Structure 1
Amino acid sequence: MKILITGASGFVGHQVVRALGDEHQLYLLSRHPAKARERLGTEHHYLASLDDLANLDGFDVVINLAGEPIADKRWSSSQKEKICHSRWHLTMRLTQLIEQSQTPPSVLINASAIGVYGNQEEQPVDETFMLRQTGEAPLPFPQAVCQKWETLALNASSQQTRVCVIRIGLVLGLCGGALPKMLPAFKLGLGGPIASGKQGMSWIHQDDLVALILFLMKSDTCSGVFNATAPHPVSNLSFSKTLADTLSRPAFIPMPAFVLNTLLGEMAQLLTQGQYVLPTRLIEAGYRFKFPQLNYALTDILAKKSY
Structure 2
Amino acid sequence: MMNQSQQALVAAFGIVVFVAALGRAVAVLRGGTGPGRGPARRRGPGVLAELPPVWRANYRLLLGAAAVAAVLVWALAGRPVHGLIAFAAVAGLPFLLFPGGSARTEVEQLEAFSDWLQQLSSVIAAGKPLEVAIPSSLSTVPDLLRAAVTRLSQRLADGVPAAQAYRLFADDLASNTGDEIVMVFQMHTQARGRGLANVIKEMAFNKSDKAKALRKLDSDRARTRRKARNVTVLTLAVIVLGLTSVSYTDWYRTAPGQLGLMVVGLMVTGSLVWMRKTARNTPEPRLLLTAAERVEVEQP
| Shared fold per TM-score greater than 0.5 | no
TM-score between the two structures when normalised by the length of structure 2: 0.21
- Give the number of the structure whose alpha-carbon radius of gyration is greater: 2
Higher percent of residues as helix: 2
TM-score between the two structures when normalised by the length of structure 1: 0.20
State the structure with bigger RCO (CA 8 A, min sep 6), 1 or 2.
Answer: 2
